[in-house]
């Protein structure tokens, strides 16, 4: 692992680091904010998964999360959204290829060689963090935006006991029924739609639910509402009788202005669950 940069931030350190990823077979970069409390021992961690076209840097610089995390003594992890590099398959479309890993393990060519973002987020990056930083591996929570909200919800429900809480900003909630999902799942996973269900938050909610609190915010003026399908997740939560707070925020769109507005709520939501464990 190499240190790309480290900056003082709200009494702690905002770092950027790179490492050779075995899962993705390329170099990967991530951001990590460590609060001042990390100097004295392991701290709880909140994962933030970003959306389409983003890198580790977008949320790190735009989400206004570090100040709230510092108040709660929580670390923040900002992974990248896909493998990258000259030898990594890509596409001219913004919603496929580099910047659009969709947090799945691709099984189809040319994507299968590198696009193993599920393994990277679920297994490899946690090992890197635990080996190199003062992180409490028993107290972890997860959030994300759009494609990253999809990833946060599906990872949380598929890894029982890993995360104390899950939240999302404008998640792609029902990708098997959306053009933000069907296109990518066909490319990455193939034509057998039965393999897609493991990566659909609404289907997983009906089948498994989540053993903990759920918070989801979506803007009523989100320009991608038809692609996000928040109503599908709401119906699944009601059917499951899931402990969840699903909010439609009037006037807000899909941007980081929306995310930064409600970031305090989400960090406090996760802090309550992390410190109750």
Catalytic residue at 254? Answer: yes
Q: Which of 21, 50, 146, 165 is catalytic?
A: 146
Phi-psi region at 161: left, alpha or beta (left = phi > 0; alpha = psi -120 to 50): left
Closest by Cα among 254, 259, 247, 262 to 223 = 254
Strand partners, 233: none
The arrangement of strands across the sheet holding 2-9 comes to 2-9, 12-21, 26-34, 75-79, 43-49, 135-144, 166-169, 214-219, 244-249
Which DSSP string corresponds to 189-243?
H-S-GGGTGGG-HHHHHHHT--SS-EEEEEETT-TTHHHH-HHHHHHHHHHHT--
Secondary structure in 3-state letters for 3-49: EEEEEEECCEEEEEEEEEECCCCEEEEEEEEECHHHHCCCEEEEEEE
Catalytic residue at 146? Answer: yes
Q: 22: which residues sit within 8 A by CB, 6+ positions away?
A: 124
Strand 135-144 to 75-79 pairing: unpaired
Q: Cα(146)–Cα(150) distance, rounded to whole angstroms?
A: 6
Any idea which residues carry the catalytic annotation? 146, 222, 254
């Amino acid at each position: 692992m190499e240190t790309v940069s480290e900056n003082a931030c709200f009494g702690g350190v905002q770092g950027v680091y790179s490492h050779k990823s075995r899962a993705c077979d390329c170099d990967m970069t991530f951001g990590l904010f460590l609060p001042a409390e990390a100097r004295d021992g392991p701290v709880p961690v909140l994962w933030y998964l970003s959306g389409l076209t983003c890198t580790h840097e977008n949320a790190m610089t735009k989400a206004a999360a570090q100040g709230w995390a510092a108040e709660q003594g929580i670390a923040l992890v900002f992974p990248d959204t896909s493998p990258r590099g000259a030898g990594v398959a890509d596409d001219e479309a913004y919603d496929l290829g580099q910047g659009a890993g969709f947090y799945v393990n691709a099984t189809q060519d040319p994507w299968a060689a590198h696009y193993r973002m599920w393994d990277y987020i679920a297994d490899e990056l946690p090992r890197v963090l635990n080996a190199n930083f003062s992180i409490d591996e028993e107290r972890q929570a997860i959030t994300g935006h759009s494609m990253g909200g999809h990833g946060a919800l599906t990872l949380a429900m598929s890894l029982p006991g890993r995360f104390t809480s899950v939240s999302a900003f404008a998640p792609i909630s029902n990708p098997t029924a959306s053009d933000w999902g069907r296109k990518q799942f066909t490319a990455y996973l193939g034509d057998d739609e039965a393999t897609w269900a493991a990566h659909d938050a609404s289907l997983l909610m009906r089948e498994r639910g989540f053993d903990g609190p759920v918070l989801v915010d979506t803007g009523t003026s989100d320009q991608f509402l038809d692609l996000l399908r928040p109503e599908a997740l709401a119906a699944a939560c009601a059917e499951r009788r899931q402990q969840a707070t699903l909010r439609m925020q009037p006037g807000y769109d899909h941007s980081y202005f929306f995310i930064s507005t409600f970031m305090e709520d989400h960090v406090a939501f996760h802090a309550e669950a992390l410190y109750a464990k």
